[in-house]
């Protein structure tokens, strides 16, 4: 039974539907394991995750060691949502090199409304599993995840 079927049967019980979506999404252990490899082992520059086809689990989409931030941005789909964790390297105001782990919720304006709702309501499931996130960015447009915009957000904290 898919979420659409549940929604059609519970139109009048909207709160029940909302509860199912918010609490029914699990996080695959592989996502957490690869996050730990990024955070502790510095094996990856970024990882991306997506909802499984049956919308019941957040699964690993991709891992990469590519240091080019623009390649990371271009990897995000233009018409679908994704979760991403990026090990962001920047130069601090004192001139030293710093790293900060950033969590991205990518929900572009061109994505389907249903997908944006499910990804947003399931964000807490993945955030609770990924301990040690420095900054969170929710983006609907590529300008919101541009290097300069993210750097500005990182330097504010």
pTM over the 0.85 mark: no
In sequence order, which residues have a C-beta less than 8 Å from that of residue 18 and are 6 or more positions away?
A: 121
Helix axes 113-129, 29-39, angle to 10 degrees: 60
Model confidence over 61-73: pLDDT tens digits? 999 999 999 999 9
In sequence order, which residues have a C-beta less than 8 Å from that of residue 93 and are 6 or more positions away?
A: 155
Specify the pairing of strand 26-27 against strand 46-51: unpaired
Which helix (H) or strand (E) segment is 50 a member of? strand 46-51
pLDDT of the residue at 19:
39
Model confidence over 13-72: pLDDT tens digits? 544 444 344 446 899 999 999 999 999 999 999 999 999 998 889 999 999 999 999 999
């Amino acid at each position: 039974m898919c979420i659409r079927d549940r929604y059609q049967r519970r139109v009048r019980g909207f709160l029940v539907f909302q509860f199912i979506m918010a609490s029914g999404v699990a996080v695959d252990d592989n996502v957490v394991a690869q996050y730990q490899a990024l955070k502790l082992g510095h094996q990856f520059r970024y990882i991306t995750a997506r909802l499984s086809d049956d919308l019941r689990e957040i699964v690993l989409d991709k891992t990469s060691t590519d240091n080019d931030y623009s390649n990371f941005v271009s990897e995000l789909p233009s018409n679908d949502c994704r979760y991403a964790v990026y090990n962001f390297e920047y130069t601090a105001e004192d001139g030293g090199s710093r790293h900060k782990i950033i969590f991205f919720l990518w929900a572009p304006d061109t994505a389907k409304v249903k997908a944006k709702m499910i990804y947003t309501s399931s964000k807490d499931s993945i955030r609770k599993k990924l301990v040690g996130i420095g900054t969170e960015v929710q983006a609907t447009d590529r300008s919101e995840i541009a290097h300069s915009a993210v750097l500005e957000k990182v330097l504010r904290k």
